[in-house]
């Protein structure tokens, strides 16, 4: 991976990003993302790992404009987004999309799959009924669902099928960049594999660029070209997937790697390392 000669241009550049949440009228805002920088090139995947509360989701939300940027800049194909107008943001939503973590709450249970899928299209273009239906059918086929799904409600689908629908909703506007926020962590292992395969197939087919957020280093290692490790809002390690995923330098990444035991190494040194960790964290 390291020897790419003709590196494609960056689709997304994040420079010194910081984000804060207000906890109440009187309390000082709480900075959850601190001075984070990275970039993703066309057709590549950047994996973002970290434990819960480390700010992964918040970075994703800042990129799609769901939370405001406090400091730093986000460049999409060279265009600065941090302070762009609401109208411009809306236009850009055709190019930057997001897949959410929970396939159960990310689909409105009272709307049919077809209505849900048509919604982003209608926000951007004036399409005729037949064109809409055509787009919905073709995207459903693309994510491996039967087109008849369009007439049904989310409750009639399993978690994996719902996540396919959620992916279809993100892709129907033909975006360039997709922020995948823990798209498989609510899914079972066997279904997780299907979705990971699907995401990789679609990436190749549509030359998508992914920001792939997960707390699972193994999943990130499998999906990404590069990995960024986040701890308490700061990047602690950032580099190509092989190095970060196999031979990390930062102690935190090493701890993450060691703590996720691999099945076939029975009673490996993992727990010994973990025993050490207890001493460490309990004092």
Partner 1 sequence: MAVELRAGTAVSVRERSTLVRFLWHPGAAFSVGFLALVVVAALAAPVLPLHNPIVEYYPHLFQGPGSASFPLGTDDLGRDLLSRMVYGARTTLLGVGEALAVFLALGVPLGLVSGFVGGALDSLVMWVADLSYSTPQIVVVLAILSIYSQNETAAMLAVGVLGSFGLTRIVRGSTIAVKNEQYVAAARVSGLSWGRITVRHVLPRIAGPIIVQASLFSSLALLFQTGLEFLGLATHPPAPSWGSMIAEAAQFIVRDPWMIVPPGAIIALTITALGLLGDRVRDVYAERWAPGGVVALGRTRERHQAAPAVVAPSRAAEEDPTSGEAAVRTPALLEVAGLAVVLESRRAEIPVVENVSFELEKRGALGMVGESGCGKTMTVSALLGLLPSGARRRAGSILFDGEALHHYGEKELSRTRGSKIGLISQEPVASLDPNFTVGSQVAEVVRRHRGLSRAEARSVTLELLDMVRLPDPSRVYRRYPHELSGGMAQRVAIAASLAGRPKLLVADEPTTALDVTTQAEIIALLRSLQDELGLSIILISHNWGLVANLCDRVVVMYAGQVVEMGTTVDVFTAPRHPYTAGLLASDPHLVSRADRLRALPGSVPEIGQWPEGCHFAPRCPYAIQACIDAPIAEQRVGAGHAVRCIQHERLVLERPA
Q: Binding to ligand ATP (CB under 6 A): which residues in 19-78?
A: 21, 32, 50, 52-58
Choose the contact partner of 85 out of Mg ion, partner 1, ligand ATP, none; CB within 5 to 8 A by kind.
none
Cα–Cα distance between 168 and 200 in angstroms, integer? 14
Instruction: Take residue 86 and report the two structure tokens written for it.
Output: 């609401």
- Look at residue 55 and give the partner it binds from partner 1, Mg ion, ligand ATP, none, a contact being a CB closer than 5 to 8 Å depending on partner kind: ligand ATP
Q: Which of 18, 45, 57, 192 binds Mg ion (CB under 5 A)?
A: 57
- For every residue of 35-84, DSSP letters joined together read EEEEEEETT-EEEEE--TTSSHHHHHHHHHTSS---EEEEEETTEE-TT-
Does position 152 interact with ligand ATP (CB under 6 A)? The reply is no
The C-alpha atoms of residue 132 and residue 121 are separated, in whole angstroms, by: 8
Q: Which residue sits closest to ligand ATP, CB atoms considered?
A: 52
Near partner 1 in 57-96, by CB under 8 A: 61, 64-66, 89-91, 93-94, 96
Which does residue 266 touch among partner 1, ligand ATP, Mg ion, none (CB within 5 to 8 A, set by kind)?
partner 1
In the range 175-234, which residues lie near partner 1 by CB under 8 A?
188-194, 196-197, 200, 215-219, 221-223
Q: Does 4 bind partner 1 (CB under 8 A)?
A: no
- What DSSP line would sit under 19-36, residue for residue? EEE--SSSSPPEEEEEEE
């Amino acid at each position: 991976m390291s020897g790419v000669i003709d590196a494609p241009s960056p689709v997304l550049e994040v420079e010194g990003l910081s984000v804060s949440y207000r906890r109440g009228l009187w309390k000082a805002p709480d900075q959850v993302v601190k001075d984070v920088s990275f970039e993703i090139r066309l057709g590549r995947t950047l994996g973002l790992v970290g434990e819960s509360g480390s700010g992964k989701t918040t970075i994703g939300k800042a990129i799609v404009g769901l939370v405001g940027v406090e400091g730093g800049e986000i460049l999409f194909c060279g265009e600065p987004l941090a302070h762009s107008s609401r109208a411009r943001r809306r236009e850009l939503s055709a190019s930057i999309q997001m897949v959410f973590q929970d396939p159960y709450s990310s689909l409105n249970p009272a709307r049919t799959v077809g209505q849900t899928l048509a919604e982003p299209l209608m926000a951007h273009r004036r399409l005729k009924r037949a064109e809409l239906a055509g787009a919905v059918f073709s995207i459903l086929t693309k994510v491996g669902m039967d087109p008849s799904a369009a007439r049904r409600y989310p409750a009639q689908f399993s978690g994996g099928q719902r996540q396919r629908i959620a992916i279809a909703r993100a892709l129907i506007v033909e975006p360039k960049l997709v922020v995948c926020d823990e798209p498989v962590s609510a899914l079972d292992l066997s279904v997780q594999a299907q979705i990971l395969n699907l995401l990789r197939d679609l990436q190749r087919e549509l030359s998508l660029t992914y920001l792939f957020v997960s707390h699972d280093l193994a999943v990130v290692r499998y999906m990404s070209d590069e990995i960024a490790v986040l701890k308490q809002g700061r990047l602690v390690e950032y580099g190509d997937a092989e190095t970060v995923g196999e031979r990390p330098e930062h102690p935190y990444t090493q701890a993450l790697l060691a703590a996720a035991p691999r099945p076939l190494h029975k009673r490996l040194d993992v727990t010994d390392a973990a025993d050490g960790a207890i001493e460490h964290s309990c004092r």
